[in-house]
Amino acid sequence: MRFEHPATFNPIDQLKVVGHPTSRIEGPLKTTGTAPYAYERHDVVPNQAYGYIVGAAIGKGRINAIDLAAAKDAPGVLAIVTADNAGKLGKGERNAAPLLGGPEIAHYHQAVALVVAETFEQARAAAQLLRIDYSKADGKFDLAAGVDGAIAPKPSFGGPADTAVGTFASAFAAAPVQLDARYTTPDQGHAMMEPHASIAAWDGDKLTVWTSNQMIAWGAGDLAQTLGIPKDKVRLISPYIGGGFGGKLFLRADVLLAALGARAAKRPVKVALQRPLMFNNTTHRPATIQRIRIGADRDGTITAIGHESWSGNVKDGEAETAVSQTRLLYAGANRMTAMRLAALDLPEGNAMRAPGEASGMMALEIAIDELAEKLGMDPVALRIKNDTQVDPEHPERRFSQRQFVQCLNEGAARFGWSQRNPKPGQVRDGRWLVGMGVAAAFRNNLVTKSGARVRLDQQGVVTVETDMTDIGTGSYTIIAQTAAEMMGVPLEKVVVRLGDSDFPVSCGSGGQWGGNNSTAGVYAACVKLREAIAQKLGFNSDEAEFADGLVRAGNRSVPLAQAAGQDGLVAEDAIEYGDLAKTWQQSTFGAHFVEVGVDADTAEIRVRRMLAVCAAGRILNPKAARSQVIGAMTMGVGAALMEDLVVDKRHGLFINHDLASYEVPVHADIPHQDMVFLDETDPVSSPMKAKGVAELGICGVAAAVANAVHNATGIRVRDYPITLDKLIGQLPEVG
């Protein structure tokens, strides 16, 4: 189905099932521990062996030799895979560095060997017996040192490296009020609960992998390309994923080495990345250095806005697109953005929840706060003053929906923003200095092709099959709601099967595009099934009504199941969007409000209140969507106050590569969170009239926390995370 304009009649608009706060249909499986995650699929194939990955012990250099003798003789060992015996390997389209290193080493903890044994303990013990002789080389591990040699990156999903409108330099120089500030964000890790894990089994030349992967079609294609086999010989199955955040978008070492280990051992092999390898072996959010310059008239009108960002990556890696939101969020006649990429020998940087905007708004939204302070203007009012209903770089493109101002006004009213003291360091609650902060939320709405297959059986059960994945977001439920609405059946009459490369290719889970596009694909397949049912029953498909398990037209009513016949009915289709993205600018908006307390003696920061107001199209399942937003808000607090993959610049690794030393928020760090969805439908976005919310919720949170800390203390921190050592030396001045 080609979607180019709203349908005259859209069954989804009935909202009998869609739009209701529905509990996850797979919830009982997850809460009882019976949902089959990748490493736990003991029943899918017999005689499973265990693989243990050995990661490189240097950050840059080469392997001179590997002595396997002692490991081969260890109890239970079945096979050892290295680059020497793995055969010729290609590189997946989406992998910047080879997943199996040797003899050249691209980064620390790059996989260099897999030991396969009868038990996990035997594989782990034997892995310690490998003797690897390395030659270290000088590597580049410091982003700040690489800035001077940084280059313009190739265009990516974040757009070109540079954009310019008007005459930024002269307009900035002439502005009566100017801000010129530098901000830094650190490397961050996904730190999802479920490790990267896979079980691989060969049946002749056919490979099946049960894994944890967000994008099934990408993973299957890149695995086939890496192994040098046809894609139709690879099947990936991933029905449940214990968190991804972008870290499982791409083929990783667990999948490849499970496949190589199974081939070498001639039996199925399961592999899970050890927690330390998840930080250095897989991808992470790259650090950034950002410079923001804003010029404004004294009434707050922005006349010039410039945003430059530097990030680093391995060879062939992409830049962190931290300037993306600055190209779209605020008006301003004279504009400039630029991204530069430094060559580093750290592990590969890539997508992590809201790549680009999450990092970029950590800087931009502090800069807006700083400009408001220079102007003596309320930060909410400044943002409203510079709202725009068109793409500032391409004024011919209007936003399909943009309720940014409404989000700010609603949030300010609910949060009690009018009670905020604009002078920092003035509000105390016992030993606590108290402050409020605000920031915009912004994330683009991406539309992409997504397919599904729908079956109707003799019992009137509708089964949906698509390779869409559920990473804890509620995909099973919103897809079931869509099919139930379209086919006029209750939820209990819908079966959803996800995460299998034998199913039609969907959009997959990432970029906050999954909910809108995957359900639109199911919508398209259901439209085709409705047409087939109507034709079989002798109805005009345009007049047929599907409701209460019946098909009605005129005075005639037939049970839906009757149309299935003995063999059932099957329909398959995909949603395609034509040139919509060129015609309209589609984005999601919000506003974050945060109150913090800072201990006047110790500089301990406590988040006291949080509120998010979001405008993100039709909310397909308010219960699941709220869960996504408050989870994102929690991650935003982590980014603000604690998350920091610390680089050992001598040896080229993230030194805090475990969950003990890479700190993330826990329950005690997070207060009650309020969030509100504005009433919005976006008929331009899809037949579902929905957008995404999972990444919008993190964008701007860290800056709102930082702005609240400034309001509480008068101390402006521009280098994340905001740890107490960055405050405590200045507290007496404001105490």
**Residue 158 φ then ψ, to 5°:** -85, 0
* pLDDT reported for residue 581: 78
User: How many residues in total does the chain contain?
Assistant: 735
* pLDDT reported for residue 8: 57
d(CA 514, CA 468): 8
Query: Using an 8 Å Cβ cutoff, are 502 and 456 in contact?
Result: no
Model-level pTM greater than 0.95? yes
* pLDDT reported for residue 230: 98
CATH 3.30.365.10 segments of the chain: 11-35+448-576, 378-386+397-444+584-734
d(CA 172, CA 179): 9
* pLDDT reported for residue 351: 97
* pLDDT reported for residue 735: 43
Q: How many CA atoms lie within 13 A of 424 on its CB side?
A: 22
Collapsed DSSP state (helix, strand, coil) of residue 230: coil
Q: What is the DSSP pairing of strand 394-398 with strand 390-391?
A: antiparallel
Q: What are the strands, taking DSSP E only, across 31-72? A: 49-55, 61-67
* pLDDT reported for residue 2: 87
| Cα distance from N-terminal residue to C-terminal residue, the chain | 64
Fold of 11-35+448-576: Aldehyde Oxidoreductase; domain 4 (3.30.365)
Query: Using an 8 Å Cβ cutoff, are 91 and 52 in contact?
Result: no
Residue from 194, 370, 695, 733 carrying the catalytic annotation: 695
- The DSSP output letter for 480 is H
- Residues of the chain where predicted confidence (pLDDT) is lower than 70: 5-8, 732-735
> Top-level CATH class of 378-386+397-444+584-734?
alpha beta
* pLDDT reported for residue 542: 87
The angle subtended at Cα 370 by Cα 369 and Cα 371, nearest 5°, is 90
d(CA 731, CA 5): 57
Under 8 Å CB-to-CB from 88, ≥6 apart: which residues?
228
695 catalytically annotated: yes
* pLDDT reported for residue 369: 98
Collapsed DSSP state (helix, strand, coil) of residue 221: helix
Burial class (CB in 10 A: 0-12, 13-18, 19+), 137: middle
